[in-house]
Amino acid sequence: MAVHYICRHCKSAIGSLATSEMISEARLGFHFLTPEERSDIIAYNPNGDVTVTVVCDYCSEAIDANPELLLLTNPLQ
């Protein structure tokens, strides 16, 4: 099982956790998310991997400096 973190805006890979054993969702902090947040942020792949979409530092800084970017469909490609 692997957990892959990608940026929701620029789609760049932020990092991955690869392990031969299952990692609990509580250990990853997923239990703090509401059901709506979980469905928006976490994707379970058929091969058992998990993809988590978050915002990278670059996109976060760009959006903080230019909030109007959030009005675009793909603000930072």
Token representation of residue 34: 């509401």
Tens-place pLDDT, residues 39-70 = 999 999 998 899 999 999 998 898 899 888 88
Domain assignment of residue 76, yes or no: no
Domain of 45 in residue numbering reads as 2-71
The Cβ of residue 27 has, within 10 Å, a number of other Cβ atoms equal to: 9
Domain assignment of residue 56, yes or no: yes
Domain assignment of residue 61, yes or no: yes
Grade residue 26 by pLDDT with cuts at 50, 70 and 90.
Answer: confident
Query: Rounded to two decimals, what is the model's pTM?
Result: 0.81
Separation CA 39–CA 43 (nearest Å): 7
Q: How far is CA 21 from CA 2, 25, 31, in A?
A: 9, 13, 19
Neighbouring-strand partners of residue 42: 52
Domain assignment of residue 31, yes or no: yes
Tell whether the model's pLDDT for residue 12 goes beyond 70: yes
In the chain, the number of structural domains is 1
- What is the DSSP code (8-state) at residue 75? S
